């Protein structure tokens, strides 16, 4: 406990200096390319893997030969340009601080991408037992790369670190499985963990707008190695709601706009269920024998890989009990901790430059400690930003051990109460209902866009709560601050007059109404949201229809939060069935493959959400005692 109290004290001191130090470093690195040229020598290599395939790799070694340096490696599908030993990038390493601290930087195109040889496979399946040289995956490619670097690159100290965000986060996580002995510290940041729950699929529902944008830019066929990136897709209209609705099914979207040129889109269309295609791409079960120190990083408002982040941390924790495994969560969008100041997102502000603080006082010290033996305090088990109060907190366990399990029940009159419904006041007619029309779906945000916005996870939800096809429930006004911590579980009892339906659940912080001119008065801030394709309520591999009019139980995990509902605020839950075009439309008629649904399959249906003693719909969450200051719990 003493170590964690010390960590909390250090954290407080870091926060005091966080506004000053980043500016000083930024002034020194106003011309990063010139700084790199002056202080680093760039070389390019084709590194052979065990099966003979060679991977293009850029290496930056400090010109100061009086010292040795650890290796900091990133493996990416997004290219390591600019290509050419005389061409230097504007940035290397996880942040600007690493260049000044002194590291050997290694950037590598993964196999089958850009200048590397071989065939590319999306989220490469891991091979646990490799019996022949052709048994290769991202773990073996990382191992072989490190082995080559140690033998061929001068001035290293024998230690290697890895870091990467999003897809490079997946490669960092995959690369630390059965880790090379020299791999001492790894930071998978917003890592893809399981593509049936990350990015394009959420509990079987298809994140249409995100998949369309990302795949058009990153899944074109590459007949031979190249240094040229694909040209960005030009949308025919900025109105994504109109564009995707008029196209109809996912099959028609492919025919009209993609024209069969995106291989993985076609693969997904053939695998709507969690079959072997998806199961073998799940990295999370294989996170064993990992590096000695791991720091998983994510943002509360990561619209892409929040699932992969929390599940990666949890998997390492359970399968590697002796490994240093820590978690960092800030108030960031996907990758925001590396790209912006982190003081705001959309209409919501966070009180300080949280990303700049993280880069200097959390990320850099982690690698300095484990790659250079710097005398720094061990990182806390969990360093997380409490939204709602805008404060960093540290914990010796995540979720916090002191969390008290609570259950909020939807009740009559749109209320949300901790007391469950009882037989004396409810019966089989205790429900709320709405008509869901897949031809007039609920938009996921107010603005006109064909893409998934990074701000939607903190957007004002008043536009949705005023629709007749969105059910809204809220607590009474809180009389004291209430902190919700850890994962949230929705437990729905529902029915439909159709045979299929999606279910969206949103957790919202409702600010009090106030006089005109008060910032964000009445704002309904989205805190956490998730969706499940109802056919997968019992088994993701075996879809089953709803029986019209019959109550069915649907459980849905909303992932973790750490949010303070301040005194005077309310907690709101919204339940709906469409969320367009973020998510494709469920026809509400059970068909074998939704992606190939016909126009006549898309039908209106009346959905009910039950709130009786026999069928209580509820939200399970954890309530954390509200400390007066930052402490270790």
Digit-coded pLDDT (tens) for 159-175: 999 999 999 999 999 99
pLDDT, position 615:
96
- Structural domain includes residue 255: no
**Is 29 in the same domain as 73?**
yes
513 and 364 together in one domain: no
- Could you report the per-residue pLDDT of 573-628, keeping only the tens digit for each? 999 999 999 999 999 999 999 999 999 999 999 999 999 999 999 999 999 986 65
Could you tell me which residues come within 8 angstroms of residue 429 by beta carbon, excluding any fewer than 6 positions away? Answer: none
Q: 363, 379, 395: which is the final residue of a domain?
A: 379
What is the per-residue pLDDT for 440? 98
Does the residue 258 lie in any domain?
no
pLDDT of 11 > 70? The answer is no
Please indicate, yes or no, whether residues 419 and 322 belong to a single structural domain of this protein: no
The closest alpha carbon to 609, from 552, 568, 527, belongs to 552
Q: Is 22 contained in some domain?
A: yes
The per-residue pLDDT for 343 is 97
**pLDDT over 50 (residue 21):** no
Query: Which two tokens mark 50?
Result: 């065990």
* Together in a domain, 375 and 451: no
Asked if residue 248 is part of any domain, the answer here is no
Question: Across the chain, what does the average pLDDT equal?
Answer: 93
Same domain, 477 and 605: yes
| CATH code assigned at 361 | 3.40.50.1820
Q: What is the mean pLDDT of residues 443-467?
A: 97
- Which residue's entry shows tokens 């404060």? 391
**Mean pLDDT on 70-81:** 97
Domain range for residue 568?
404-624
Quick one: DSSP state of residue 451? S
- In this model, does residue 151 exceed pLDDT 80? yes
- Residue 28: per-residue pLDDT: 41
Q: What is the CA radius of gyration of the chain?
A: 25
Q: Does 252 map to a domain? A: no
Residue 424's alpha-carbon distances to 186, 409, 433, 610, 614, in angstroms, are: 57, 16, 22, 16, 12
Judge if 52 and 104 occupy the same domain.
yes
20/39: higher pLDDT: 39
pLDDT at position 458 over 80: yes
Q: Say what the alpha-carbon torsion angle 580, 169, 105, 140 is, to the nearest 10 degrees.
A: -130
List pLDDT tens digits, range 435-452: 999 999 999 999 999 999
Residue 224 Rama label (left phi>0; alpha psi -120 to 50; beta): beta
Determine which of 23-37, 304-318, 337-351, 492-506 has the lowest per-residue pLDDT on average: 23-37
CA dihedral 377, 387, 452, 460 (to 10 degrees): -170
Q: Is the pLDDT of residue 22 over 80?
A: no
Domain count across the chain? 2
Query: How many Cβ atoms from other residues are within 10 Å of residue 571's Cβ?
Result: 22
Instruction: Say whether both 450 and 591 belong to one domain.
Output: yes
Residue 488 predicted with pLDDT over 60: yes
Q: Do 573 and 509 fall into the same domain?
A: yes
Confidence grade of residue 223 (pLDDT, cut at 50, 70, 90): confident
204 domain residue, yes or no? no
**Residue 281 above 70 pLDDT?**
yes
Asked if residue 457 has pLDDT above 50, the reply is yes
**453 and 359 fall within a common domain:** no
Q: Label residues 148-175 b or e (16+ Cβ within 10 Å = b).
A: bbbeebebbbebbbbbbbbbbbbbbbbb
Q: Among 232, 604, 229, which Cα is nearest to 438's?
A: 604
Judge whether 222 and 279 are in contact, CB under 8 Å. no
| Residue 584 belongs to some domain of the structure | yes
User: What's the mean pLDDT in 382-403?
Assistant: 97
Residue 142 reports pLDDT greater than 50: yes
Q: What is the CATH number of the domain that holds 438?
A: 2.60.120.260
**Would you say residue 26 has pLDDT above 50?**
no
For residue 222, the model assigns a pLDDT of 86
Report the distance separating Cα 559 and Cα 553, nearest Å.
19
Q: Is residue 275 part of a domain?
A: no
- Do 21 and 161 share a domain, yes or no? yes
510/468 same-domain check? yes
Which residue shows structure tokens 């990083």? Answer: 297
Question: Do 515 and 590 lie in a common domain?
Answer: yes
Give the end of a domain, one of 344, 379, 414. Answer: 379
- Residue 32 is predicted with a pLDDT of 78
């Amino acid at each position: 406990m003493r170590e964690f109290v010390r960590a909390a004290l250090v954290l407080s001191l870091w926060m005091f200096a966080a506004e000053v130090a980043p500016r000083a470093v930024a002034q020194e690195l106003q011309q990063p390319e010139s700084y790199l040229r002056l202080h680093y020598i760039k070389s390019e290599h084709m590194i052979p893997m065990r099966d003979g395939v060679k991977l293009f790799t850029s290496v930056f070694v400090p010109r100061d030969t009086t010292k040795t340096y650890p290796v900091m490696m990133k493996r990416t599908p997004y290219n390591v340009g600019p290509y050419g030993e005389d061409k230097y990038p504007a940035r290397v390493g996880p942040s600007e601080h690493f260049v000044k601290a002194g590291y050997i930087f290694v950037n590598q195109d993964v196999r089958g991408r850009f200048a590397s040889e071989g065939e590319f496979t999306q989220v490469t399946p891991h091979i646990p037992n490799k019996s022949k040289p052709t048994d290769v995956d991202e773990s073996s490619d990382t191992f072989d790369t490190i082995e080559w670097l140690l033998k061929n690159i001068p001035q290293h100290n024998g230690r290697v670190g890895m870091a990467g965000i999003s897809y490079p986060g997946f490669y960092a996580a995959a690369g630390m499985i059965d880790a090379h002995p020299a791999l001492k510290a790894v930071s998978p940041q917003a890592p893809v963990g399981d593509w049936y729950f990350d990015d394009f699929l959420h509990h079987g529902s298809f994140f249409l707008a995100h998949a369309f944008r990302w795949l058009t830019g990153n899944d074109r066929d590459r007949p031979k190695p190249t240094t040229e990136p694909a040209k960005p897709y030009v949308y025919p209209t900025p109105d994504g709601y109109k564009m995707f609705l008029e196209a109809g099914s996912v099959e028609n979207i492919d025919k009209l706009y993609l024209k069969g040129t995106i291989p993985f889109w076609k693969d997904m269309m053939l695998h709507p269920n969690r079959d072997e295609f998806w199961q073998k791409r799940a990295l999370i079960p294989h996170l064993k024998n990992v590096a000695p120190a791991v720091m998983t990083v994510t943002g509360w408002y990561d619209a892409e890989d929040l699932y992969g982040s929390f599940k990666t941390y949890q998997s390492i924790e359970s399968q590697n009990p002796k490994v240093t495994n820590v978690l960092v969560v800030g108030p960031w969008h996907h990758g925001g901790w590396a790209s912006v100041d982190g003081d705001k997102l959309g209409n919501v502000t966070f009180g300080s430059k949280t990303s700049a603080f993280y880069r200097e006082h959390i990320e850099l010290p982690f690698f300095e400690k484990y790659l250079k033996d710097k005398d720094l305090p061990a990182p806390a088990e969990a360093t997380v930003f409490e939204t709602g109060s805008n404060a960093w907190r540290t914990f010796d366990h995540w979720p916090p051990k002191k969390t008290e399990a609570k259950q909020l029940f939807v009740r009559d009159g749109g209320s949300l109460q901790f007391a469950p419904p009882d037989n004396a006041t409810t019966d089989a007619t205790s429900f709320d209902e709405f008509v869901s029309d897949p031809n007039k779906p609920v938009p996921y945000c107010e603005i006109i866009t064909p893409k998934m916005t990074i701000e939607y996870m903190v957007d004002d939800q008043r536009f949705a709560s005023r629709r007749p096809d969105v059910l809204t429930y809220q607590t009474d006004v809180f009389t004291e601050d209430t902190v919700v911590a850890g994962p949230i579980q929705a437990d729905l009892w529902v029915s439909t007059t159709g045979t299929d339906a999606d279910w969206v659940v949103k957790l919202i912080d409702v600010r009090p109404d106030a006089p005109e001119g008060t910032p964000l008065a009445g704002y309904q801030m989205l805190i956490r949201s998730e969706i499940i394709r109802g056919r997968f309520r019992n088994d993701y591999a075996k879809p089953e229809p709803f029986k019209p009019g019959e109550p069915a139980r649907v459980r849905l995990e909303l992932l973790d939060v750490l949010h303070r509902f301040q005194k005077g605020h309310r907690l709101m839950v919204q339940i709906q069935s469409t969320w367009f075009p973020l998510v494709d439309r469920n026809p509400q008629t059970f068909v074998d493959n939704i992606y190939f649904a016909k126009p006549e399959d898309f039908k209106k249906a009346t959905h009910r959400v039950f709130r009786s003693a026999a069928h209580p719909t509820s939200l399970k969450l954890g309530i954390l005692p509200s400390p007066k200051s930052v402490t270790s719990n």
